[in-house]
Structure 1
Amino acid sequence: MLDELALAAAATGGSAVVQAAGTDLWDGFRGRVAEWFGRGDAVRESRELERLDRSASELSAAGQDEVERLRVRQEAVWQSRIETLLEDLDGLERDQAVAELSELLAQARPQPGPADAGGTEVSGNTFNGPTAFQVSGTQNVHFHREP
């Protein structure tokens, strides 16, 4: 059974895959995600790249009437894949994998450009599962386990 931190990381990871697909971030992000899944196994990493590309392709080919349904489905698929990987790791490996995933997701967030200096518009987002959303300022979120 996964703890709240692992579940939150999996939910965020699933959303991040879908949010990044088709954006300028995709090429670098997909490689880092595949590497994270591969855990040093080049064959597994290659398979994950194929899965990620298939997901991105499905999302880009979806018509307007089906894109939201497909986004929700793909988020759930990737969340489930992340949860499964984490469940298969022992406690210490799982903690390390969650930390690596959290770092990967933090690096993948788009950085505000000069146009965003006065504010940022957020629209068309779907959040499934635990979500932290902040409009302005700085947010520092720390998760810890109860002893």
Structure 2
Amino acid sequence: MLTEALLALAAAGGTAVVQAAGTEAWGSVSEGVARMFRRRSGDGAEDGAQRELDRTALVLASDDAERSSRQASLWGQRFAALLSDADDQVRQQAETELRQLISLVPGVADRHQVLNVHGNTYDKSPQQYGNHNHQQIHYGSDT
């Protein structure tokens, strides 16, 4: 089972693939995605991923918002499956690669804030408040 942070990372990866289609970033993103799947899935996976990427580019050329959303969701699911099938070391490498791919597409990382926080301890219980645009976390009293 993937953590929320990994699910958010996978969703951001799906968005990055869709946003990169038809831009200067497409070549780097599509090559990187194909390499990720080849390394994780073995021989022939890169060709299959490349075919899916080519199909995604064709679908997105129609400039249909519903299709774009569906493609982003499909790629997010593919990335989630890739991350969930990996052991810890391979997953960390895949996370790093996916973050690098996301960084190639302007604006995606800003819209999909993917935090990676591990091993923090606090002497007060945190309280978290927020909505989609703003988040506040308080530790202890405000006095």
Fold-level similarity (TM above 0.5): yes
Question: How big is each residue's C-alpha offset from its partner over 1:22-60, in whole Å with a ceiling of 9 and x where there is no partner?
Answer: 112212221111101211635211110110000110110
Q: Retained in 1: the 8 A contact 2:16–2:101?
A: no
**Percent sequence identity over aligned pairs:** 37
Match of 1:109 among 94, 105, 109: 105
Q: 1:99 to 1:91 in 2, by over 3 A?
A: same
User: TM-score scaled to structure 1, two decimals?
Assistant: 0.70
Q: Greater share of strand residues, 1 or 2? A: 2
Separation in 1 of the partners of 2:112 and 2:100?
A: 17
Separation in 2 of the partners of 1:97 and 1:25?
A: 19
Larger Rg: 2
Tell me the CA shift for residue 84 of structure 1. 0.6
Q: Which runs of 4+ in 1 moved over 6 A?
A: none
Amino acid across the alignment from 1:46: D
Separation in 2 of the partners of 1:100 and 1:29?
A: 10
Question: Equivalent residues in 2 for 1:37-116 (5 A)?
Answer: 37-39=37-39, 41-60=42-61, 62=62, 67-106=64-103, 108-110=104-106
Question: How big is each residue's C-alpha offset from its partner over 1:83-116, in whole Å with a ceiling of 9 and x where there is no partner?
Answer: 011111112221221122112222x134xxxxxx
Partner of 2:26: 26
SS at match of 2:7: helix
User: TM-score scaled to structure 2, two decimals?
Assistant: 0.72
Q: Give RMSD over aligned pairs.
A: 2.5
Question: How big is each residue's C-alpha offset from its partner over 1:91-145, in whole Å with a ceiling of 9 and x where there is no partner?
Answer: 2221221122112222x134xxxxxxxxxxx8xx9x9xx823xxxxxxxx75122
Separation in 2 of the partners of 1:23 and 1:103?
A: 17
Gaps of 5+ in 1: 111-121, 133-140
